[in-house]
Structure 1
């Protein structure tokens, strides 16, 4: 029997290079927001939780004393360590592990950043409790992730195509769900912003090496969905679409 963690590792073990070079992951207006927050709060230590190709780590390292790049997939961790060395970012340390059980002492970090990772986590509530434990008092947590939808029809459509494309997908959560996770863990929700992410269909599927039959299933679902759903996600004739993204800042009181 495979655990969700094993499914995730299997999906991503040979995709580190694709995520390093992915334009979607390498760019984003959220990086400037992160840098501004780090500078305004004089943050010194950062945990990049679910670091993937390491883009958050590379963006924030010049502004802090130390970054821990942490990911479930060993090949991602190896890639970030190698890239940090090549970029001369000597203050980045890479470490492998799961989000739900962080191997760090209480209040180890001034700030935790998780970008496009949480929708793969096995247990977000448990991971949030761990984040609360390892972030300092008055410390910040920044979450950037694809949003689920409060409309059941649209949400089912989106979660379905995500899972067909990538079997390690667990769930995109709505803003209401995120607020619930944060408040239950003890955080104060400081900032809630929405962004948009345009996803070019071919690169979106190629990045995950989605099999052709699965690609065709997604395209079939896109063609058969309602006009309302098609318009909301701005589905194009080639399958490209737009999704909503949450940018959240939480504070540990």
Structure 2
């Protein structure tokens, strides 16, 4: 029987959940969290009722919890939610609620939240349009909506999604900034501002974090080395630093206002 995309997501992130609790392994997910919080900062209010969609271990929720009234962190993978719950219990944070649910069909009434956010989810889900539409639906008029995700440069050669799926079979598609913008405005929200930047990441920790099989890892390394030697573009924009392979991701922070 074919495995659904959601089942792939749960399987892969159940494997990765423990890694999210290890700061030494989780650097790629935490290194730009402070930058995102600074980007969100002007809109955060101590009366906010917040929803983090596809929250994983609720990194964003945990980062802003002490500054808002309440945060709900919703995710499809129970193992990720369990790691987040352990973290808030350890830190004595009492205003974060964890909910198991589907980002494409949020179990909340219309206009329930004053701030809604999602981080690193649109490239992972099967239906990003539905996720953005649901985020707008549950936002009160004038609420802040934040999206932080990978984006594909317009002029990029090669197929980075193929490499991403080799590494993590639950990966779907990295959208362009324009495509994400169209999802937001198509859902009825107004884009207020955006910030885009690039990060260069070492390849081996990225492959290790997802527990990618050894033969697949070596195939990915070989393709990136071939590109550096003049071979076909992979879309991963490889580089070499001190003998270690690296690649480049483009990130987008977007702030919109719910209609």
> What TM-score, normalized to structure 1?
0.92
- SS in structure 2 at match of 1:146: strand
**CA-atom RMSD, angstroms?**
2.0
Could you tell me whether the CA contact under 8 Å between 2:184 and 2:190 is conserved in 1?
Answer: yes
Q: How is 1:108-187 mapped onto 2 (pairs within 5 angstroms)?
A: 108-151=112-155, 153-154=157-158, 156=159, 158-187=160-189
Distance in 1 separating the partners of 2:20 and 2:105: 24
Could you tell me whether the CA contact under 8 Å between 1:47 and 1:69 is conserved in 2?
Answer: yes
Distance in 1 separating the partners of 2:236 and 2:11: 32
Q: Hey, what does 1:13 align to over in structure 2?
A: 14
Distance in 1 separating the partners of 2:209 and 2:104: 26
Could you tell me whether the CA contact under 8 Å between 1:34 and 1:60 is conserved in 2?
Answer: no
* Higher helix proportion (structure 1 or 2): 1
Q: How is 1:7-156 mapped onto 2 (pairs within 5 angstroms)?
A: 7-21=8-22, 22-28=26-32, 29-39=35-45, 44-151=48-155, 153-154=157-158, 156=159
Distance in 1 separating the partners of 2:236 and 2:222: 17
Q: Tell me by how many angstroms 1:231 deviates.
A: 10
Greater CA drift, 3-12 or 218-227: 218-227
> What TM-score, normalized to structure 2?
0.90
Distance in 1 separating the partners of 2:111 and 2:44: 17
Change (3 A) 1:81 1:7: same
Count of equivalent residues? 249
Q: Tell me by how many angstroms 1:133 deviates.
A: 0.7
Change (3 A) 1:250 1:63: same
Q: Which runs of 5+ in 2 are unaligned?
A: none
Distance in 1 separating the partners of 2:162 and 2:60: 28
